[in-house]
Structures are given as C-alpha cells and as structure tokens.
Amino acid sequence: MSRQDTRAKVFTAAVELIAEQGYAATTVDAIAERAGVAKGTVFYNFGSKEGLFSALLDHSIERLAGALAAADTGESGVAALDSVVLGQLRFFEEHGPFARVLLSEMWRTAWQEAVARLRESALGVYAGVLRRAAASGEIRADLDVETAATALFGMVLTVAIERRALYPERPIEQTHQTLVELLNGRIR
Amino acid sequence: MSRQDTRAKVFTAAVELIAEQGYAATTVDAIAERAGVAKGTVFYNFGSKEGLFSALLDHSIERLAGALAAADTGESGVAALDSVVLGQLRFFEEHGPFARVLLSEMWRTAWQEAVARLRESALGVYAGVLRRAAASGEIRADLDVETAATALFGMVLTVAIERRALYPERPIEQTHQTLVELLNGRIR
DNA sequence: TCTTTTGTACTGACCAGTCAGTTCAAGAGA
DNA sequence: TCTCTTGAACTGACTGGTCAGTACAAAAGA
C-alpha cells in the first residue's frame, strides 16, 4: 500500500469523524481506528493532529475550487451562475462530511490561511461569474460582488447540508430548482 | 448579586469563548474565569457543561426568533422579506459571537431539539413571509418555502459573520442593500 | 537498503465534575 | 437589640479519566 493510499484512508476517516463530532472532540485514536491504520502511522504521515487537519483542509478546498471552476460555463450571463450553484450542490453531495466540517470550521481563526485560499479560489469563481453578469448588464453594475459571492456560497452550503441531513432521498435537481427560483427573484 | 446576574455573566463568557474556540475546545475553567465566577458556580447553576450550553442555545434561539418575528411587518408582499433580512442582520450584529456558535453547532446531532425549535420559530418567520408572498402572487406559488427559508437564513447568517470578521466598520445597511439587490434578482 | 507501517506501552498535561467548607442575608426567638 | 438558625449561593482544591504525542522494536514493502 502506497503512502498516498494511507493518507487517503486517513483523510476519509478524519473528515467523517470531524463532521460528526467536531475537530476538538475527535481523537487521533478514533481516526486511526476507523482508517484501519496504526496511530503511529497518522503521526508519521502528518506530524500532528493539527497537521492532519490542515492537510485535509488544503486538499479538500483545492478539490472544491476545481469543481466550481469546472462548473463555470464561462457564459457572460446568469446561466453560468445557475451552473455553478448546481456544481456546488453536486460537490457537497459527493463530499457531504466535508460540507459540515467546512461550515463549522470556516470562521475559526486557527485555519485562516486555508480560508483565505478558499476565498481566492472557490468564492472567486462566484465573484467572477457575478462580475461578468454585471458587465453584460444582466444584474446591477454596482452590486458588491464579494459580499454577494459569500452570500451565495453560504446559502448553497447551508441548503446542501440541510438536504443531506433531512431529505437525503430528494434529487439535487429539485433543490437546485428551488434556489434558482429564489434567485430569479420576484415576479413583477 | 442575584442568581440571574450570575447566569447572565456566565452566558456572556461562554458564548464569547465558544465562538472563538468551539464548544469542545472551551473549558469550564476558562468560562468561569472570564465570567469572574468560581468553577463550582457554573456547575451549581447549570449542572454540567452540556447543561450550560443547552440553556445558552435555548435562551439565544428564543431571542433570535423574537427579533425575526418583530421584524416581520406582516405585509403580504416581499417588502416584509427585506425587513426580516435586516432584522436578522441587526440581531447578529448585536449578538455576533452567537452567530458563530450557531453556524458551527447548528447541525451537530447533540443539539437537535434546540435546532428543531429554531426551525419552527426563526425559520418559520421566513417561511411565513414567503408563503404570504406566494399567496399574493409576488413570487412563484410552487416555491418550496421550507428550503427557501433555510437558504435565506443561511445566506444572511454567513454574510453577517463575514461582515463582522472582515469589514466590521461597514454599515449594516450597505450589506443589507447588497442582499436585497441579489434577491431582487436579475435585470430583465 | 531505505522507507513505511505496526502495535504496544508509556508520559504528562489537561479537564469535567465533585464535595466539604465559606459567606451572608433574612428571619426567629427572647 | 442581640444571638442563633436556616438555606441559598458560591468557592476552589482535588480526583479520576482522557488524550496528544513519544518511544521503539519488529516486520513488511519496494
């Protein structure tokens, strides 16, 4: 078994347990046990509990940013926004435990540099889409795209977690449809 | 000093520390020290660390629900929605640490009954506003108001936390304006 | 050979919860 | 007025358990 395989197994076990119990309440013993690995192996690979979590955040944020960037169709219209929202819903559907970890730990000062990277990459995708839509005149040109990007990301993250927790059998497309209708705004 | 005063001091210390470090990482010793109270007093008043947190959640959720209900103007139109959004922003401006605590602990299974109460009361205000707007034809009648209510609540909560963390000097009205513009939707 | 993993045993710091004792204000009795 | 009692609120040293991290010898892989 390669070192990469070991790290992947530990990541999976860690994100699941931390999603359930939180970072501080999750012990390295429990992570090692669920990963089917000796405790020493965790320290050999990541140095410390904090090192493990930091690596986990980096790894997952990179994948999230990649998924959002891939979902961005590049259109200058708001269709691209719907697509990115769907991409985020799909990503958190596949990586459900990470959604809870991210929501819980996102604003903790201990992981600020990881969050800074999240802002640049993942939130940057939303900001880019909004900027293009503003440039093409489809939304107000004076919109604060940074705040709006955070609003959209937080909205989708919250809904993705609720869906997994309360309505796991509901198709993502239905949840997506609700969000799009909400954002399509008021009938005038 | 009355028992109520003591409980209030402990609440304030606890919510601040838990916002910074999370529930599990916050020790009762630290809470007692910041509250200027002996450790035994915390256990005398709340029975256990979990009892303290549970009481804190109940107390704060009740106040949040009251603030949202008070912000609901009762109008059947979407103006009421803007008003509730502003009410939520204002509440979390005044109770900033609680916003972080709520976001982090909201989906932990340990506090599910408190969260159930949150859904009934606070999210219920949003759902009610949306239902009225749907009935009056201002938004689509087939909108899933429960999911939309969660989406709105999560959106505002996320933005409120970001504002406090990154742009504390920015007036709330400006943030509110951005959210309203985002929800007013696309220019067609 | 060099890296990685295992499993067991250990340490020292930390922490929730306990409990015997203190403080004090409000009566009660004389 | 003075003394004594009561009970609620509070205190902080102490205990028993937990957990991150270490140590290390042996084995497995590559």
Pairs of residues, one from chain A and one from chain B, whose beta carbons lie less than 8 Å apart: 144
Percent of chain B with pLDDT over 90: 91
* B75: its two tokens: 């109008």
Confidence of residue A164 (pLDDT cuts 50, 70, 90): very high
Flag if A151 and B78 touch (Cβ within 8 Å). no
Residues B122-157 as b or e (16 or more Cβ within 10 Å = b): bbbbbbbbbbbbbeeebbeeebbbbbbbbbbbbbbb
Question: Which token pair is A31?
Answer: 């992570």
Check residue B64 and give its pLDDT.
98
Residue B1: pLDDT over 80: no
User: How far is B188 from A74, CA to CA, in rounded Å?
Assistant: 20
Q: Which of A23, A104, A105 to mutate to test the interface with B (most CBs of B within 10 A)?
A: A104
Mean pLDDT of A161-178: 97
Residues of B in contact with A150 (CB under 8 A): 158-159, 162
Average pLDDT rounded to a whole number, residues B118-140? 95
The pLDDT of residue A4 is 79
Give the pLDDT score at B78.
85
Give A111-134 pLDDT, tens digit per residue. Answer: 999 999 999 999 999 999 999 999
Distance CA A154, CA B180 (A): 16
Residue A187: pLDDT band (50, 70, 90) is low
Quickly state the pLDDT bin for A183 (edges 50, 70, 90): very high
Do the Cβ atoms of B178 and A154 come within 8 Å? Answer: no
Would you say residue A188 has pLDDT above 80? no
